[in-house]
Structure 1
Amino acid sequence: MKDLNADAGTLEWLGFKYKTILTPEQTGGSMSIVDSWCPAGSGPPRHIHENEDETFVLISGSCKFWLEGREFVAQPNESVFIPRGSNHTFKALDEEPSRHLVILAPGGFEGFFADMAAGQFGIPEDMPAIEESATRHHLRFTGPPLD
């Protein structure tokens, strides 16, 4: 797989890198796949995707997941399925970044990543703009990131 640092189509926001490698337009809207790079020690706030099932396929680096109150660690070559409507988050555990494919079904949520990269929004100062995009992409924040 190509290095995301060398790819001109890669989006960056708060140290995360995203590259959509299969678009909803290519699948009739049924899914999308995002190549994602998460900095060591970081992860998103707890959240719910109302419309999409989300599957993580870990390529490198381990991640701790929190899914509906249950914590577990996923290693490279493992997958994690998160059904739509499930409260969840994750955090890269190793000293190096975690790289994973994020499969979204149906596709469309990757537009949130594009909004964040375009606006380069900061947290907490730009939360109104982040929340506006989240609402448009059927995402609800429900709690803090993992410690």
Structure 2
Amino acid sequence: MSQDRFVLLGPGEVRPGRVTLPPAFAVKAMTGDTEGRFSLLEVTLAKDIPRHTHHEADECIYVLEGELGIDFDDQTHVAGKGAFVILPHGVPHALRAVSTPPPRLLQISSPGGWEHYVEDLIEAGPAVLTNGSLDPVKINPIAARHAITYEV
């Protein structure tokens, strides 16, 4: 194992990125840390994620706390604390909080890159929102650069 890729984070520590992310997104492993193989974020799902498709990356989610609503293809599921789900690329899905407080998750994207997508969304700011919610029409130009498409 190469020492230049060794990462040890203490509780509450995050990997620094191009922009400072809000506390709801804690980057634990950046794409560069894993030679592109995956990225890992600890996420508090404060806003529902509209139905979308990852065209290249598989998404894995482990629920740390709370309950996560998952719409996968044409099925609806609820994943509670300790649940794990794989959302394979190419299949539409949506995520939503079904608990209060909102669920806290470990989110793995393989191959990596998801943290860069989140950075792009944060840089866009309120321009990707309509009435405080993520707007698929406004997100799609940013998402397309990361091989993601939101349903309109």
TM superposition shift of 1:131: 2.0
Aligned pair count? Answer: 136
TM superposition shift of 1:134: 0.5
In structure 2, list runs of 5 or more residues that go unmatched.
1-9
TM superposition shift of 1:49: 0.5
Give the alignment of 1:1-147 within 5 angstroms.
2=11, 11-12=21-22, 17-39=24-46, 42-121=47-126, 122-124=128-130, 130-143=139-152
Higher RCO, 1 vs 2 (CA within 8 Å, ≥6 residues apart): 1
Kept after mapping to 1: 8 A contact 2:15/2:29: no
TM superposition shift of 1:8: 9.5
In structure 1, list runs of 5 or more residues that go unmatched.
none
Same amino acid, percent of matched pairs: 24
TM superposition shift of 1:11: 1.3
Kept after mapping to 1: 8 A contact 2:136/2:150: no
TM superposition shift of 1:103: 0.5
d(CA) in 1 for partners of 2:125, 2:37 = 28
Distance 1:3 1:92, change over 3 A: farther
TM superposition shift of 1:90: 1.3
d(CA) in 2 for partners of 1:134, 1:53 = 15
d(CA) in 1 for partners of 2:32, 2:25 = 18
Q: Which amino acid aligns with 2:21?
A: L
TM superposition shift of 1:129: 5.3
d(CA) in 2 for partners of 1:36, 1:94 = 14
TM superposition shift of 1:124: 3.0
